[in-house]
Structures are given as C-alpha cells and as structure tokens.
A and B are shown apart, each in its own frame.
Chain A
Amino acid sequence: MTDLLEPAIDARRGNLLADSWLMTTRLLKQIVRVPDLLVFSTIQPIMFVLLFRYVFGGAIVVGPHGGYVQYLMPGIFVQTLLFNGAATGIGMADDLQKGLVDRFRSMPIARSALLVGRSISDLIRALLVFAIMLIVGVLTGFRFGDGWGGAIGGTLLMFGFAFAFSWIGIMIGLVVKTVEAAQSAGFIWLFPLTFASSAFVRTDTMPSWLRGFADHNPVTVVVNSVRRLYLSPTNSREFGVPALGSQLLQALLWLAGVLLVFVPLSVRRFRRMSR
C-alpha cells in the first residue's frame, strides 16, 4: 500500500494533443455505450423527412416540376447537423454538473483538451448522423446532381458550419451548467432559425417581414449554398435558389464570425471558472 503514495514521478506537463485525443476517445466510447443520443439525433430528422416528404410535400410547391425531396434534403441535413452540434453543450453541462470538469481541472492536463476533445468527438458523431441521413435521403428519392466536387464541397461547408455553431452550444453549456437547462437553452433558438429559413419552404412564399429575416438567416445562406453544390443547375434554378457566389460568401462569413466570437468567449469562460 505504501507504494500507492510515492510521489508522482512520471507526471509531466499537459500535452494538448495527447490529452485531447484521450478526451476524444472517452467521449467516443460514450456514443457507443449510450446510443440514445445517436438514435434521438437521427430519429427526429428521419420523422421530419417522412413528414415533409410525404405529408406536407404534396402541398409545398418549390418548382414547376415538383421534386420536393431534392429541395428538402439539403435543409434537413443542415438542420440535423446544427442540432447535433447543439448537443455538444449538453455534454459539456453534464461533465460540469457531475464534477468531472473539476476533476480534470485539478489534474496536470492541458485544460483546453476538454473543449477540443468534445468538439472533435461531436464532429465524429456528426459524421455518423450525416451518413444515416444520407441513406434515408437516398431511400426517399434524393440524388446528388452536381458531381462529386459539389457533393464534397457542400458537405464540407455544412460540417464547418455545424462545427462553428457547436461552439455556441459549448458556450451555453458552460454558462448554464446543468443538463436540463442546457437542453432547453441549447435547442430553443435553433427552431426559429431553422424554420424561418429556406430549409423547408421557399422564402418568397413568406410574408415580407418574415422574408427579410429568412433571407439573411445564416441557415438560409448555408442551405442555399449546399443546394447549389448538391443539386443540378437546372434543379437549383427551378427552385429559385440564389446564385452560389453571394450565398457562399455570406455562409463563410457567418462561419468565421461565429468561430471568432464563440471560441475565444468559451475559452475565456472556461478559464474564468476559477474566479
């Protein structure tokens, strides 16, 4: 027993890369052991696909030749990834509430590894969720129409966007500190953002006051960019999707803006926890 108490000789200074990787694998195990989260973050969007595709779809006119599933899927993808990103904050709050963050902070590890590890593991979960949604999309009739380049470009854009927005989730988790609060505060603002956008319907069908918001909504510009990259030019034109240039520029500006504001804010908040 005495040997349990010898001073720690092999403990070195925190190493951001190694520590982040340990944190990432810890959280990946969670995904496997608690598939609930994965299931819940895919069941809802699958319901949405079925609902919009088969129930509302017939009544929603997006172009002269129908094809609502083509219009819908990019919107669903973006929405799904955004909600997945918001779940990052819930995990953060969970660790805080359980005191795990305190334990980690009392150990000689790179503190930002907690944030980085969470961010990376959630990105990996996002990949899983996206793969599932893609299969659902293809099964319900969705097809890429603009070649591999467009498909890859659009996917990268969505992931970048969801990654940036997950930092808003992290910030919320750090501020509210309880799972329950993070659950409501983390998701509530995403509903108006995704529904008052071009994700499900064309914004030119909305009343003008709402349209002003919808057209400049970050979700709209990202969904529009993804449509331009995922769909054939004819499809995009029929759906009245604005040209790629301006939409992509706005999307990237949002992405950068959110990262520039929320990454430093979260890191600062995390550091100030010792105040």
Chain B
Amino acid sequence: MTDAVVVESLVKTFGTTRALDGLDLTVPEGSVLGLLGPNGAGKTTAVRVLSTLLVADSGRAEVCGVDVRRDPVRVRRLIGLTGQFAAIDDYLTGRENLVLFGRLFHLSRSAAAQRADELLERFELTDAASRIAKTYSGGMRRRLDIAASLIARPRVIFLDEPTTGLDPRSRLSMWDVIRDLVRDGTTMLLTTQYLEEADLLASSIAVIDAGHVIARGTSDELKASVGGTRLELVVDHAERLAIAADVLERVGDGPPSIEQSDRRVTVPVTSGAGVLAEVVRQLDGAGVGISDLAIRRPTLDDVFLGLTGHRAAEIEADPEPAVAGADHRDGGRS
C-alpha cells in the first residue's frame, strides 16, 4: 500500500508559538488517520499546511506524491478540505453552493448541476436544496460543507473536527456520513478532540500535543496503553468490598483494584453492557448493595494522562465528551 499523505519533520511557527514542532505522519492510501489532540495541539495547522493554505517553515509534506510547497496547484486538484468551521455561502441555496464549487472546479454547467444533485441526495439535503444556507441547522451546514469538499471527487479528504459544535443527533448522522466515505475507501485525515470519534472512524490514530506526535497506533493499542475500559463499582458497606472484588475478579479481564476509603472496586473489562448485567446479577445473589456502578471508557484525557503524566492542557473535565465542546468556537484561523 502506498502512502497518500506523507508528512516529515514539519515545523511551523507563529511568532514564538511552535504550532508544528517536527510533525511526522503517514496516511496509507484508502485508510483513515485520526489526528487526536487537545486545543492548540496543532491539528488545524497541520491540515492547513497539507491543504496548501499555509506554507510550513521546514519539513516535507506530500499528497499523493505531490509536494504541497512545490506544486500547490496540483495538490488542490487532489484534495477536498472541510475546515474546522463550515465554509459555505450563506446567501446561496444549498444547490447553488454546490454548483458554484463544481463550476470553480471547471465542471461544465450541466455536469456541476448533476454532481450537485447527486451530493444533495447523498447527504439528505434534497428537500432543503432550494433554501438559502443561512436557514440551515448546524448539522445541515456541516453536511453541505462536506458535500462541497467532495465535489471534485478528491483522492484525499481532510476533515478538521467535523463534529465539534454539533448536537448529539447531528453528530451521529455525521459519523454515518464519514463511515460511508471510509467504507468506500477514501483516504482521510480526520482531526478530533474525542478518542471515541477517532475510535469509531479511524483505522489508526496519531495523538499530537504541542505540534508533534506523542503516540500512534490503533485505538485498541492506545486504550490498552492507558488501561482500556474499566468497570467501577461503589458498594454501600465497606465490609462487602472483599465479596464484591471476588465477583469482579470473575467477570473482569484482570485483577480488581480496591480503594478502601471510598468503597470502590475497579476492574478492567472488554465488553460493556453484558458485563454490567452479569455483575448486577452476581452482586445481587451475593447480597452486596450497590451505591454506584459504571463502565468507564478511557477518554482523551486518560490517554493524555497515561502518555504524558499530565492532564491535557485546556481540556476541561468533561463528563460526557461525546456531546460537550459545543461552544468550541475559537481557533487559529488566519
């Protein structure tokens, strides 16, 4: 398999900020790389360099073997970019937006119209096609935005935080859209702040912080590095802790750890819901009262903690990462 995207020792500074500090990446053709990192990690900067919007200070970046610096015009013909914020013309209708972008890719009038209709259909925007984009919901804007980046049938797609700011429902439908593209063999570089998203969509993940990669691997490998999924149980009486630990030992994947002080037992597990039901049944049988029981999946924060020993900068403690971050609207667009 050849690499569709190659990035080597990429450096980009803004004043004294080293946004990219020796970034190395490869995305094999037909695969999806999840670029995972907290605010300010350099995700957008990396995407902007690869999509010829920014020129790096040093290092090499190639798309389908074409150097982004030496031949940006050719690169632009190979890529589709969906930036961190939906970039569509508010005053054009959905269809007009797509036709405009098609025409700008020098499709004929009829080819552009046909292509626009195809994509509107594909992204379930046909009903809204003749409304101006200003009236679209956030999820619809995002879908139109992604449709726009597919106009010229790009070989490589860059998606910069495609679900940040979407409500849970739109997020799910966006995931469907992306998974379809993945299934069709699109080469994709996808940035995200959520491990769950990378987990679901990417074949491999690169965790970046401060402009360089601090870990790479499949999502399983990354999760394993921070202990994987855990089951956490809090019992109501401290004297039952030992019995509870026995139960968890049986259903869990490894030795349980006991925290006497807060009556908590934790055990690594692989499958989520099934285990939960089993634990409840067994604890009930053993007469152990439960005051709290939960499956904890590793979050980006856990990965960070595991990898660097410190919590990810600027990421707030977030009980529900899948729906949070809706107001993430700053960013390094220049």
Give chain B nearest CB distance to A151 CB in angstroms: 34
- B62-82, CB under 8 A of A: which get 1 and which 0? 000000000001001111010
- A24-50, CB under 8 A of B: which get 1 and which 0? 001001100110000000000000000
Indicate whether A14 reaches chain B with its CB closer than 8 angstroms.
yes
Give 22 A-B contacts (CB < 8 Å), ordered by A residue: A1-B122, A1-B180, A3-B153, A5-B150, A7-B78, A7-B155, A10-B106, A10-B111, A11-B152, A15-B106, A26-B100, A30-B91, A98-B88, A99-B85, A100-B87, A102-B53, A102-B83, A105-B52, A106-B51, A106-B76, A107-B76, A107-B104
Partner of A1, one of B100, B106, B184: B184
Q: Which 5 A-B pairs have the closest CB atoms?
A: A99-B87, A8-B152, A103-B87, A108-B76, A106-B81
Contact check, A7 vs B53: say whether CB atoms are below 8 A apart: no
Partner of A34, one of B48, B91, B122, B152: B91
Indicate whether B334 reaches chain A with its CB closer than 8 angstroms.
yes
Interface residue count for B (Cβ, 8 Å)?
A: 49
Partner of B105, one of A2, A105, A108, A273: A108
Indicate whether B54 reaches chain A with its CB closer than 8 angstroms.
yes
Indicate whether B90 reaches chain A with its CB closer than 8 angstroms.
yes
B residues 34-62 in Cβ contact with A at 8 Å: 48, 51-55
Indicate whether A208 reaches chain B with its CB closer than 8 angstroms.
no
Contact check, B53 vs A106: say whether CB atoms are below 8 A apart: yes
Say whether, besides A8-B154, A274-B54, A29 and B96 are in contact (CB < 8 Å).
Answer: yes
Contact check, B153 vs A8: say whether CB atoms are below 8 A apart: yes
Interface residue count for A (Cβ, 8 Å)?
A: 36
List residues of chain A with CB within 8 A of the CB of B51: 106
Indicate whether A275 reaches chain B with its CB closer than 8 angstroms.
yes
Indicate whether A13 reaches chain B with its CB closer than 8 angstroms.
yes
Indicate whether A12 reaches chain B with its CB closer than 8 angstroms.
yes
List residues of chain A with CB within 8 A of the CB of B73: 13-14, 108
Say whether, besides A103-B87, A274-B54, A4 and B184 are in contact (CB < 8 Å).
Answer: yes
List residues of chain B with CB within 8 A of the CB of A108: 73, 76-77, 105-106
Say whether, besides A1-B122, A8-B154, A30-B91, A103 and B81 are in contact (CB < 8 Å).
Answer: yes
